[in-house]
Structure 1
């Protein structure tokens, strides 16, 4: 006999385990909030922009071939910016207590499509330190790119600065709590259905029909203990009333 689960049974399972689901979701939210606000260290990000412009002395500033050449060089510049040739000098000049490889993990270099602007972003626990590193990377790159590639077509467009109300880019407590709530609800629902699946006790006549695959002919209602006591008291009262009635007739 193939077993089927109706939507009504699913809803009954959820209602029966709603307490468990709620508790798991609340625990997930609390853990996420505590970790986000008190455990994880806020990370700030600052950025500087480099402009890959025309070579000095170019008469026509809008030379299409030169622009295309600069655009093709941007990918090369992105690699060079994060190379030890640049980052080692940044570490030395700023006396950073980290290696070039560790600094490389904090630096992100990107450029918009068909744009001559390169964004250099640095992440750090201290926003002022991140801005200082970003600006130093830009200066070191601009100074040394001429000797590395024998070109001189890079200028600093904007410097990294720390705003008055700078916010950390991570962690994001609200987002983390929202994700934890969804995950907690999903885990709670999963555990609820798992417990229901593992529960093999017989509770209703429908359970008997499913297990034995035979129809139920009758059901004996459960007599509660207090109902049984009340029934006995009522029976005793009837006996006493009958005894008094018989005695009065005599």
Structure 2
């Protein structure tokens, strides 16, 4: 026999097991709030921008275009060099960081837009002040080392990272975590409610009996209160005696 679930059945199941759905939602929200505010470590971000550009004056138009195209090709190379041990080891030494070049590289993101000569250096750290120092020091070290490594001098620091009074962490996103956990808890509660309803094989109405047996219902048996019936029988016996 094919079973059809209607919207009314869905709403009835949720209403019947509302406490389970509500409990899952509240527990998930509370757990996400506790973890976001008291367990996860805040991560701060600092960003420095450098400009890749040839230093030349009184050059013709075609020479400028050629130099510009060369700079754009070099940007991908620079992105790799910035996170290389030869640069990061000097940053670690200068700031006296208790890190290895590999661990420091995991905190650094280097990016540049298409056909842009601006390179963005983003550093993330548990301390906002340290993120600012690493970002600015990395740009300074790279600017000093790149003429030695590639025999070019086309790097200018466009903007530096600044320390603000009340920095806001970029991770974790507490509100997003709580909303996601609330939605997840709600969905989990609804799934568990339908699962329990599906596993419950007891007849819940006369209509279900008619659908399964294909026989009409001709009567109902009322609920007999045995305790009340026993008292009534004892009362009749006393009267007889």
TM-score (norm 2): 0.89
Using the alignment, how far apart are the partners of 1:110 and 1:18 within structure 2?
Answer: 49
Q: Matched residues in 1 for 2:170 and 2:7: separation?
A: 43
User: Per-residue deviation at 1:57?
Assistant: 5.0
The 3-state SS of whatever aligns with 2:123 is strand
Secondary structure in 1 matching 2:106 = helix
Q: What is the count of residue pairs matched by the alignment?
A: 234
Distance 1:60 1:96 in 2: 46
- Aligned to 1:65, what secondary structure does the other structure show? helix
What SS class does the counterpart of residue 51 from structure 1 fall into?
strand
- Which stretch of the first structure deviates more once superposed, 133-142 or 49-58? 49-58
Whole-Å separation in 2 of the counterparts to 1:224 and 1:92: 87
State the TM-score, normalized to the length of structure 1: 0.86
Structure 1 match to 2:18? 18
Matches of 2:79 and 2:198 in 1, distance apart? 56
Q: Counterparts of 1:178 and 1:140 in 2: how far apart (Å)?
A: 42
Q: Closer, same or farther in 2 for the Cα pair 1:36/1:64, shift >3 Å?
A: same
What does residue 246 of structure 1 align with?
none
Question: Unpaired runs of 5+ in structure 2?
Answer: none
Q: State the Cα distance separating 1:104 from its structure 2 match.
A: 0.4
Listed as ranges, the gaps of 5+ residues in structure 1 are 241-250
Q: 1:148-179: CA deviations, max 9, x gaps?
A: 11211011111111122320001111111111
Q: Is the 8 A contact 1:87 1:137 kept in 2?
A: yes
**Aligned residue in 2 for 1:95:** 96
8 Å Cα contact 1:122-1:133 kept in structure 2: yes
| Partner residue, 1:34 | 34
**Bigger Cα displacement from structure 2, 102-111 vs 142-151:** 142-151
Match of 1:150 in 2: 151
The question of whether the paired residues in 2 share the 8 Å contact of 1:42 and 1:125 is answered with yes
Report how far residue 208 of structure 1 moved. Answer: 1.7
CA positional deviation for 1:56: 4.1
Residues 178-209 of structure 1 deviation map (CA, whole Å, 9 limit, x = unaligned): 11110010111111111111111122112223
The verdict on how the C-alpha distance between 1:60 and 1:219 changes in structure 2, with shifts beyond 3 A counting, is: farther
* 1:213–1:151 CA distance, 2 compared to 1 (3 A): farther
Residue-by-residue CA offset, 1:68-125 (whole Å, 9 max, x unaligned)? 2211211111111011111111111211101000000000111122211111011011
Tell me, what secondary structure is at the counterpart of 1:63?
A: helix
Whether the aligned pair in 2 keeps the contact of 1:56 and 1:153 (CA below 8 Å) is: no
1:54–1:67 contact (8 Å) kept in structure 2: yes
Residues 215-245 of structure 1, C-alpha deviations (whole Å, 9 max, x = no match): 333322335679x67xx6xx98xxx9xxxxx
TM alignment of 1:116-131, pairs within 5 A? 116-131=117-132
Alpha carbons of structure 1 residues 224 and 177: separation in structure 2 relative to 1, 3 Å: farther
Q: CA deviation at 1:4?
A: 1.1
CA RMSD of aligned residues (A): 2.3
CA contact 1:36–1:176 (8 Å) conserved in 2: yes
Q: Which residue of 1 aligns with 2:197?
A: 196
Task: Kindly indicate whether the alpha-carbon contact (under 8 Å) linking 1:14 and 1:189 is maintained by their aligned counterparts in 2.
Answer: yes
Secondary structure at the counterpart of residue 153 of structure 2? coil
| Residue of structure 1 in register with 2:47 after alignment | 47
Q: Secondary structure at the match of 1:67?
A: helix
